[in-house]
A and B are shown apart, each in its own frame.
Chain A
């Protein structure tokens, strides 16, 4: 039996800028099915956090229910975590974020947890521009209950038992754009070269960052006729462009072709460099993003990459004008201005 991962790691593995090795970002060994796309996403999160040199205790991971929502156990074992109720991950994250704005929040959800039971929570988290990375591990089926089609399954897609999906799938990317999400991207668990920089960018974005990651269910939805299988996605995958995330400390060294590249400066000083594959699309122009998404849908393409980013994003704390200090560290003497101040306030209403 080997639900045990040996303790040895490659002896020559480098440490990041704050002295941690990749091992310090790992979690417990996965108990998901062998070959599950979710494990690749976990691996990408580990790699991204390691490369970004974020202290593990400065991250909180929150999830709902489902195969996807089990994954926080399998990455960032030294970070905070909360496995919440089905579809209620955004509420728990909202509470945590309100109390402590100093942590980075990773929300993990699945297509069932987001597009069905949690839809109400999802749209309000977007509306409030909660500062979090919201990853949907999207496999188009309910893997934990033996693979029934989910709300993101495409119309006409075949389940493993051969039945056809009769309703159109909910496109979370299109929905997020409509709801004025400030960072919208889609990726594929089998393409880490794209996924890792997108995770870094999403975690650096001040506001709600949706990452809809297609993540094939090898056990129940990797069959012929499914539009969420490894083969189908690889056959129809299209990218808006290649993404490169450059932290503020680093110089931009890669040369980009004139006219085809765009860079988006983030609030923390880091930069997202994009090499565009379509001249009519501009990641900061919402209309072009809408068009690009619709165009891909009509062509039957699986569009991935960064789709839209609002560099002027203002997150919930900014909107509410709360103090910079995390609320959970405010002492009583800071919170209670005293009788005199209360009297002044009361006077102002008289």
Chain B
């Protein structure tokens, strides 16, 4: 439930998240790889047991306010979850016959099984959300003309970019747009593809397209990107998984022409380039002069990006649009220039990811609630925060302070021979509970804070001597730049603030560099006066309603 409260879609995100958290994980500062946070969330979700009975329920008595949610993806579902317990009447519209949005249409079943998706989408829909599936909203004006008190737009970035080069029209039958291709496969409108397939593009959609093609009869599938391999946008682990399925990735080859013979696609001609970067890091692709290369193909999938598209929003409704047809929004409240209309997810600021959509949803829900109750939208409740002492005995803590030296564990995969035969067989098997426990022991406990009380310190140096990563220094105070040079270990990560105490009796100050602190608690164990204490910090993002 904690997982669900903070994540909304723990089982889904535990399999598909872009993992913006992992690059931030401090484990990566003391050794090679961060903790497998994402996959641990999956284990927690998979092993949770029955939670349905614990879910918050929408009150029978409604509060009289009606909200339209356009688009059935993660952003809209999050708004629905946060508002339903408050008694709002929620109407959710989606063009497909089930909710989930891009999580259903764009993420292949071998990465995200349908049961997992259905379960977590239904937790929200079962909170009394009135669904209008198979209903494409074609006019915002019509929605505004009805008696909704507020409208939330979570329609994603539904338009896949096309590539207008020679031969595109003639070979249209065998050239597909990535996200449309994935949606057609998801809804079983398509179950075959040619033997030879080329995927153009280097993002996660391209990876999903090539791996899906492998499962629909493509046995010679290639990904071709125009830029260098290292500049590919796809997550490293998704590239790894694609390559493990015998899919070569050719780089520095921009497509020039689709070759068509007798009205049938024969292949694609690619140029050869190399990348050069100027001082600002801007990339230029320069032709190398090598001869063009022709690669045969029965089908080509174009997965070179997505755009926002709001053809259904009339431009005379007071909803202003800015650059790239993105709506003008307040970045805190997600309110558009029409006060009744709110945006979130990819529809708000362009393509991002699921967890960002959920974050937008939480904020938009607060705004909608305040808007409907006549409260100031900018007067937002503070996030929840709590600090709790962890000491139980001289060498005992309420958290696991013994830091495991293990390297990151690999998630086991199902045999390729089996997974490639059926697109619905999940590739990742997930950690076993025992491996997950070991992986979790790699955590450096960022939530447990080292709290220093200067009035208790007798400057015995015990903490300095014991600290395994030399984080603590007692020295004369000074300017930050100068201090960073004078510490027991270099403090070169400027994004990490130094923790500086008040002046101590010897006129020195205690300085702690949090950068590679292991939170092992040894400073607090060796402190004779409890000037150091380990305290667990809990942070709760504000949500419109209390979920737990």
Query: Contacts A2-B395, A2-B401, A35-B528 given: A8-B469 contact, CB under 8 Å?
Result: yes
- B residues bordering A, Cβ < 8 Å? 29-31, 394-397, 401-403, 405, 458-462, 464-466, 468-471, 489-490, 492, 505-506, 516, 518, 520-522, 525-529
Which residues from 10 to 45 on chain A have a C-beta closer than 8 Å to any C-beta of chain B? 10-13, 22, 29-30, 33-37, 39-40, 42-43
CA distance A219 to B461 in the complex (A): 15
The answer to whether B462 and A230 have CB atoms under 8 Å apart is: no
Q: Is the pair A43, B465 in contact by a Cβ cutoff of 8 Å?
A: yes
Residue of B nearest to A10 (CB): B489
> Is A4 an interface residue, CB under 8 A from the partner?
yes
Known: A2-B521, A6-B518, A8-B403. A190 touches B461 (CB 8 A): yes
Of the candidates A2, A8, A37, A40, the one whose C-beta lies within 8 Å of that of B525 is: A2
On chain B, the residues within 8 Å of A40 by CB distance are: 460-462, 465
Complex Cα distance, B522 from A231, in Å, reads 24
Question: DSSP majority for the B interface?
Answer: loop
A276 to B31, CA, bound (A): 46
Q: Is A216 an interface residue (CB 8 A)?
A: yes
What is the CB-to-nearest-CB distance from A143 to chain B, in angstroms, rounded to a whole number?
Answer: 13
Bound-complex Cα distance A34 to B395 (A):
11
Residues of A contacting B397 in the complex (Cβ-Cβ under 8 angstroms): 2
A142 vs chain B, min Cβ distance (A): 19
| A172-209 residues at the B interface, CB under 8 angstroms | 189-190, 192
- List A residues at the B interface (Cβ < 8 Å): 1-13, 22, 29-30, 33-37, 39-40, 42-43, 189-190, 192, 216, 218-219, 222, 230-231, 234
Give A26 Cβ to nearest chain B Cβ, in Å. Answer: 9
Q: Which residue of chain B has the shortest Cβ distance to A23 in the bound complex?
A: B468
Known: A35-B458, A35-B462, A37-B460. A2 touches B528 (CB 8 A): no
Residues on B with C-beta less than 8 A from A189 are 460-461
Complex contact A8–B465 (CB within 8 A): no
- Determine whether the beta carbon of B468 is less than 8 Å from that of A39: no
Q: How far is the CA of A167 from the CA of B395 in the complex (A)?
A: 39
- A8-B403, A234-B505 are contacts. A13–B489 as well, Cβ < 8 Å? yes
| Whole-angstrom distance between the Cβ of B508 and the nearest chain A Cβ | 10
CA distance A189 to B518 in the complex (A): 26
Bound complex: CA of A116 vs CA of B32, how far in Å? 54
Q: Which of A5, A42, A219, A234 contacts B468 (CB 8 A)?
A: A5
Count, A-B residue pairs, CB within 8 A: 104
B403: nearest chain-A partner, CB-CB: A6
- Mostly, the A contact residues are loop
How many angstroms between the C-alpha atoms of A157 and B471 in the bound complex? 37
Please state if B522 and A2 are interface contacts (CB–CB under 8 Å): yes
Q: How far is the CA of A87 from the CA of B529 in the complex (A)?
A: 32
9 nearest A-B residue pairs (beta carbon): A35-B528, A43-B465, A10-B489, A6-B403, A35-B460, A40-B461, A218-B528, A8-B30, A34-B528
Q: Tell me if A35 and B492 are in contact (CB < 8 A).
A: no
Bound together, the chains give a CA A39 to CA B73 distance in angstroms of 59
The reply to whether B527 and A35 contact each other, CB–CB distance below 8 Å, is yes
Q: Chain A contacts of B516 at CB under 8 A?
A: 8, 10-11
Residue on A with the closest CB to B464? A43
Chain B residue numbers with a CB within 8 Å of A234 are 459, 505-506
Give the residues in chain A near B394, CB-CB below 8 Å. Answer: 34
Bound-state Cα–Cα, A230 to B458, Å:
7
- Do A1 and B405 touch (CB < 8 A)? no
Given contacts A30-B466, A189-B460, 8 further A-B contacts (CB under 8 A): A7-B405, A10-B469, A29-B466, A35-B458, A190-B459, A218-B458, A222-B528, A230-B460
**Selected contact of B470 from candidates A4, A6, A10, CB within 8 Å:** A10
A7 to B458, CA, bound (A): 28
Report B-chain residues with C-beta under 8 Å of the C-beta of A230.
458-460
Contact of B396 among A1, A6, A34 (CB under 8 A): A1
Partner of B465, one of A10, A12, A42: A42
29 contacts between A and B (CB under 8 A): A2-B522, A5-B522, A6-B468, A6-B518, A8-B30, A8-B405, A8-B469, A8-B516, A9-B469, A10-B469, A11-B30, A12-B489, A13-B489, A30-B466, A33-B528, A34-B394, A35-B526, A36-B460, A36-B462, A37-B460, A39-B461, A39-B465, A40-B462, A43-B461, A189-B461, A218-B528, A219-B528, A222-B528, A230-B460
Say whether, besides A8-B31, A12-B492, A35 and B466 are in contact (CB < 8 Å): no
Which residue, B395, B459, B466, B528, has most C-beta atoms of chain A within 10 A? B528
The listed residue with most A CB atoms (<10 A of its CB), out of B403, B465, B516, B529, is B465
Cα distance A200–B220 in the bound complex, in angstroms: 69
What separation, in Å, do the CA atoms of A5 and B525 have in the docked complex? 12
Give complex CA distance A36, B518 in Å.
23
Whether A8 and B401, one on each chain, are in contact in the complex, defined by CB atoms closer than 8 angstroms, is no
Task: Report if A12-B521 is in contact (Cβ < 8 Å); known contacts: A30-B466, A36-B462.
Answer: no
**Chain A residues with CB under 8 A of B460:** 35-37, 40, 189-190, 216, 218, 230
Q: Which residues of A contact B462 (CB under 8 A)?
A: 34-36, 39-40
Identify the closest chain B residue to A4 (Cβ): B402
Task: Provide the bound-state CA to CA distance between A37 and B462, in Å.
Answer: 8
Q: How far is the CA of A261 from the CA of B136 in the complex (A)?
A: 89
A39 CA to B525 CA, complexed, in Å = 13
Q: Shortest distance in angstroms between A70's beta carbon and chain B's nearest beta carbon? A: 15
Measured between beta carbons, the chain B residues less than 8 angstroms from A6 are 402-403, 405, 468, 518, 520
The CA-CA distance from A219 to B528 in the complex, in Å, is 9
Residues of B within 8 A of A190 (CB): 459-461
In the bound complex, how far is the Cα of B528 from the Cα of A300, in angstroms? Answer: 28
Given A9-B469, A230-B459, residue A34 in contact with residue B525 (CB < 8 A): yes
Query: Are A11 and B29 in contact (CB-based, < 8 A)?
Result: yes
**B527 contacts A34, C-beta separation under 8 Å:** yes
